[in-house]
Chain A
Amino acid sequence: MSDNRSFPWKMVVGVVIILAALGILIVPSLQSGAQYYVTVDELLAEPARFQQETVRISGAVIGESIVWDPETDELLFIIASVPADLDIVAAQGGFQASLHQAVTDPSRARLTVHAYGSPPELLQDEVQAILTGRLGVDGIFQAEDILLKCPSRYQEEQPLG
């Protein structure tokens, strides 16, 4: 058998197999599973590109735009552009303030979102929506997945005396 000083073949082979297995499992999964974040502005700037690519986009939900058709089970709502840079968000006064500004500022870029399924319970005005999907040729974003970030307002909220 092997003694201390001979080349540890068994270990090397084992390590190579393990690394290869990891590579085979991780790399293709990353390619198919990784999603890039974009803002509404970035999406609208290059519509052709984002019709091909599945992306994650974040925006502030405009509550009054939420429309749901129970017959066809289709959901439509509009999101307003929010800055991706956390420093800018902080400068605007925090997440809650940033979302509020996005919704109330008429000059912000807006995007119409279409999805199937009934409105999630958290889908409300001034909530941050993180959507996964593609831009359709009609300019409407087809969302496959909707993630709504729990409003942090109850953390920041000041009590009434």
Chain B
Amino acid sequence: MIANTALAGLMLALIALLYASAVILFKRSDDRWVESARRAVQSASLLVSLALGLFVYLLLTNRVEFAAVYRVTRSTMSAVTRLTALWGGQTGSLLFWTWLLGMVALVTASVSVSSDSRQQPWLLFFGLLPFAGFLFLVLFLDNPFSRWWLLADGSSLAAVFLPGDAVTVMQPADGIGLNPLLRHPAMVLHPPVLYLGFTIFALPFAQAMAGLMTGIWNRDVLASIRRSTLVGWFFLTLGLILGSRWAYDVLGWGGYWGWDPVEIAGLLPWLTSSAALHLLAIRSRTRRRDVLILGVVLLTFCLVILGSFLTRSGILTSVHTFADSPLSPALLVLFTGVSLVSLVIWILSMKCGEKDHKPGSLSFWNVILDGSAVVLILLLVICLVGLSVPVVGEWVTGRAMIVGPAYYRQATGPLWMLLLVLTALSPLFPRRIALRYESLRAPGIALLMAVAVGLLARGALALSSGEISVVMAMTMYLLLAFLAVREGRLTSPGSHKPRVRFIGVVLIHLGVFFFASGVAGMEGQETFQATLSPGERMTAGDYSIRLDDISRQPVDEYRNVTVASVSIYDRAPDAIHRIAEVYPGLEEDLVYEQVRALPGVASSVSRDIYVLFTAWNVNGSASLRVLVNPLANCLWIGGLLMAAGALVVMIPDVFRHRNDDDLNTIKKAGQTGVADNFPGS
């Protein structure tokens, strides 16, 4: 009964969405029809929520006769783990993704995300479009409510409705449980946060499309696009950091980013949304630039769908991929469709944009911001080239080929460094830098101080040159930001209210520098390997590692874990000062027939000592691999700072009074006066 109800709900939702799109295409001039369409979208979102709720219920009650439930749960799992199994498999995660898009559609239908009512029909339309597309996929190509049927010949089949020669619904003894690699705290959060990041970009997509269709993209529209893009960016940044952390902890090679195609697919929208945010930070002088920005926003969501295709289709070899999915052609069609529609509408808008009457003067601020956006787009192009090599390369050279991490590191390295330099200089806005002593003095002093700090750091802390550069850039940035505060650029003209947004932006960039220092530090990663019997020691750089004990315990009927107790000491001659005790383990999953290594990590800001228990040998000795990861935690600190900074930037929006009153508009115009280039004033 549950399955049938849920299926009916999904079907009704799709019909409602089709109704709404037909209404908007043909009857949008009539308010009553538009209102009806709005309600249809709301109904669809709620119906899909119902279906999701029912699916979660199936997960919680271990209803393994449903194939999607069977593939990710088993009786020994706790309720919390079952919830996370929602995104542990192909089918459940697609339903979850679709539900999220439904929530975005609900927002476009219920909340005024645009101050202009003429946008409303198109906002609705482009909000429901991705939702409807994925709902179609869920219903017809990867249905979560398909069951195992026992056929007359004894074999089984998964299908939604009764196959011709089926005898009955099969009831498997138990499910197979969650893939061992997914059992990690970061995995609890990484997919939903990442999915939130991706799907929220459907909102600025709808807003941008609505703007382009109506020809209206005034300041308010762009401001609301900036806000929704920032929210998506926040979750995407957090999701990418969590994914990195998961890879670091679980995949056992002590690395955090492998330039895996699926990782890159997640990075692409991050690059374009960062570019969009930089471009949206200052008001354009020309409509043409605005259309360009809207194009970047559209591109972001198209890349989200592309990423969905790349991840689920298995077209690129990757550790992540769900193999051999029937979704591939459909997702490709969806991506092509959305991209084509976006491209056509965007090109038409570019043509209709006014010609410049005033060529923009090259203010320093413009160069920095637009330059950063350009660099980010270049990074995007490089990644896209790398991703397309397997497809294009084979077509051109006739041989199957692929690019490894070496390509990405070599091609993107210089651009990341350029981005750091631009970031360091960014607080120099909105000055018009002229080659005069007065305007160059303060930045010049900041530069000298940064160099001094760099030399000091090199002498005192023996950092690598990569780390030194990051330290210098960060110092420069902080000094220039401090300058900006002192010159009064931190407060609004005429008031003493601190520019909360500026503080948020500083936090974000500080996070960038921390992250960069983590990257620089990890370049100096060292690996040590030895086989020890209990009581023996090995040397790992500045540390002495001692194997204390090994013990084996069953976890449940499906899993055993063997744990090694390891002590870490300073490598002094007598080495009695114990720094930490860690417990790396080897977990055996009897169903998946996999063994996975659980690292034991001793963390501090300056380095991680990462101990892997790689093998338990027959003679009772343990093989250990020890990695010393300098500044590893700066990666996570940096990422969290970036996310926190984004939250701070969002604060003024939360307290903003949305006011359509004409009087207030006039008041604001009078107060702010001269071209006010701060974000979102």
Chain A interface (Cβ < 8 Å from any Cβ of B): 1-2, 4, 18, 21-22, 25-26, 28-30, 32-37, 56, 68, 70-71, 73, 84, 94-95, 117-122, 124, 130, 132, 145, 147, 149-150, 152, 154-155, 157-161
Contact = CB atoms under 8 A, between A and B. Distances in A.
Nearest to A85: B400
Q: Name the residue in B172, B411, B531, B594 with the highest tally of chain A Cβ atoms < 10 Å from its Cβ.
A: B411
Given A21-B378, A160-B172, A33 B403 contact: yes
Given A118-B614, A155-B324, A29 B621 contact: no
Interface stretch (B224-232, B315-323, B571-579): B315-323
Contacts of B355: 4
Given A70-B615, A118-B529, A121-B595, 12 more contacts: A21-B378, A32-B406, A33-B404, A37-B400, A71-B531, A118-B625, A119-B615, A121-B252, A149-B323, A154-B179, A155-B323, A158-B156
B634 to A, nearest CB: 26
A130 B400 CA distance: 13
A159 B170 contact: yes
A34 B179 contact: no
A22 B405 CA distance: 18
B319 A30 contact: no
Given A33-B408, A68-B615, A159-B172, A1 B359 contact: yes
B615 to A, nearest CB: 6
B615 A2 contact: no
Give the interface residue-count category, chain B: 35 or more
B410 A120 contact: no
Contact of A22 (B323, B382, B597): B382
B323 A30 contact: no
Contact of B411 (A29, A117, A155, A160): A29
A159 B156 contact: yes
Given A157-B176, A161-B171, A34 B385 contact: no
A147 B405 CA distance: 13
A33 B150 contact: no
Instruction: Give the secondary structure class of B's interface.
Output: mixed
Interface in B353-382: 355-356, 359, 374, 378, 381-382
7 contacts: A25-B382, A25-B412, A33-B407, A117-B625, A121-B597, A155-B323, A160-B172
B172 A161 contact: yes
Nearest to B177: A154
B542 interface: no
B499 interface: no
B378 A121 contact: no
Nearest to B361: A1
A36 B390 CA distance: 9
A51 to B, nearest CB: 18
A160 B71 contact: no
Contacts of B412: 25
B593 A124 contact: yes
List 5 A-B pairs, minimum CB-CB distance, nearest first: A33-B407, A159-B172, A118-B614, A37-B400, A29-B411
Contacts of A154: 71, 176, 179, 592
B378 A94 contact: no
Nearest to B418: A21
Given A35-B403, A118-B623, A124-B593, A147 B317 contact: yes
A70 B617 CA distance: 9
Given A28-B410, A29-B410, A155 B322 contact: yes
A158 B593 CA distance: 16
Given A37-B399, A68-B615, A22 B406 contact: no
A94 B623 CA distance: 37
Contacts of B70: 159
A19 B21 CA distance: 41
A37 B593 CA distance: 29
Contacts of B410: 25, 28-29, 32-33
A98 to B, nearest CB: 12
A37 B252 contact: no
B148 interface: yes
B156 A161 contact: yes
A25 to B, nearest CB: 5
A154 B393 CA distance: 32
B402 interface: yes
B155 interface: yes
Interface in B508-555: 529, 531
A35 B401 contact: yes
B414 A25 contact: yes
Contacts of B615: 68, 70, 118-119
Contacts of A130: 317
A2 B362 CA distance: 13
B621 A70 contact: yes
B566 interface: no
Given A26-B382, A35-B403, A4 B595 contact: no
B596 interface: yes
B58 to A, nearest CB: 15
Contacts of B531: 70-71
Nearest to A144: B404
